[in-house]
Amino acid sequence: MDIFILCLAIFLVGCMLGYGLEVLFRRFFSAKKWVNPGFMKGPWLPLYGFGLLFMFLISFGLTNLFPSIHFYDPTKGYGANVYDLIPIAVMGVAMNVLEFLAGLIFVKGFKVRLWDYSNMKGNFMGILCPVFSVIWFSISVLYYYAAHPFVTEFARTTYAFMFGDHGAGAHFGVIFSLGVVYGIFLIDLVQSIGLFSKVVRLAKDSGLSKRYEEFRIEFRLKKEEASRKFMEALPANKAKEAVDKTGDAIKEKIREALFIDPSIEDAKANYGPDGRPLKEEEK
């Protein structure tokens, strides 16, 4: 039971950290605005929670299951070695399986695509693709060498704080707080499964989402036109144009190598004007 409660704490931390990363990524790189990246209303993404928990359990479990093998552990003076390929490979496979199962549950169960790789070459059901499989393996390497020592120390410190150094007794305040947070989490989960699609459908039926999208596109086009005219007036614009053309040519080659149809922007039809995922019947 003690280990189970510790796993709940690690899962919750992963949910919140993943949410923060997704919010920042969409604000500064993809959507260019503040967007709630998940289907729930609260600050958590369960996929990241399961990901962090699985990577921790795999790394920590293999270390304890095979004590004679000196896996990477800077706290014990063990550096990187060939045996590290075992936990890294297992974590990479586990993360791809997790992504596939999560995507399949939402596509088949809720008729929602939280992500869509249908336009990526070599994709499987639009849920998995080679590019992101490589990314998951890269994340496994990054986690194993950069984050796992800190996650392990966090787990040990948290366990000692909650249950004492030898599991003597639970810290009532921590267990109670964890229970309250999980209560909110579960309520949010139950409500979000049924409500987030209804909100999107209401906005769509009323025409608000369509008018908002038209206004947003018109504003963006005017902004781009004003920016283009300003840049054309600058003396150094010719050199910048040459650099931009070279960059665009490189980007186009990359898109041709990765996408089935480079002219189609992947997965845009799966999201509403607010950046939230749409159900199949709402598209």
What average pLDDT does the chain have? 80
* Structure confidence at residue 207 (pLDDT): 59
**276: Cβ–Cβ under 8 A, 6 or more apart, which residues?**
35, 36, 39, 196, 200
pLDDT, tens digit, 9 for 90 and up, residues 162-174? 877 655 566 778 7
Bigger pLDDT: 230 or 196?
230
Give the type of residue at 60.
Answer: F
User: What's the pLDDT tens digit per position in 96-122?
Assistant: 999 999 999 888 877 778 788 888 888
Tokens found for residue 232 = 């054309």
Structure-block tokens of residue 178: 């964890």
Confidence band of 52 (pLDDT split at 50, 70, 90): very high
Residue 91, pLDDT score: 95
Phi-psi region of 144 (alpha: psi -120 to 50; beta: other; left: phi over 0): alpha
Shortest CA distance to 13 belongs to which of 183, 182, 132? 182
Closest CA to 139 of 91, 82, 101, 85: 91
Question: And the tokens for 64?
Answer: 């304890």
pLDDT band at 67 (very low <50, low <70, confident <90, very high): confident
- This prediction's pTM: 0.69
Confidence band, pLDDT 50/70/90 cuts, at residue 197: low
Q: If DSSP codes are grouped into helix, strand and coil, which group holds residue 271? A: strand
- Could you identify the residue written with the tokens 């921590």? 174
What does the domain layout of the chain look like in residue ranges? 2-196, 209-282
Whether residue 273 has pLDDT greater than 70: no
The candidate with the shortest Cα–Cα distance to 8, out of 43, 36, 46, 37, is: 46
Residues 6+ apart with CB under 8 A from 131: 120, 258
Closest residue by Cα to residue 174 from 166, 185, 163: 163
The predicted structure's pLDDT at residue 175: 82
Query: Using 50, 70 and 90 to split pLDDT, how confident is the model at 156?
Result: confident
Please provide the distance, in angstroms rounded to a whole number, between the alpha carbons at the two ends of the chain.
45
At residue 277, φ and ψ (nearest 5 deg) are -70, 145
* b/e burial code for range 33-48 (CB count within 10 A of at least 16 → b): eebbbbbbebebbbbb
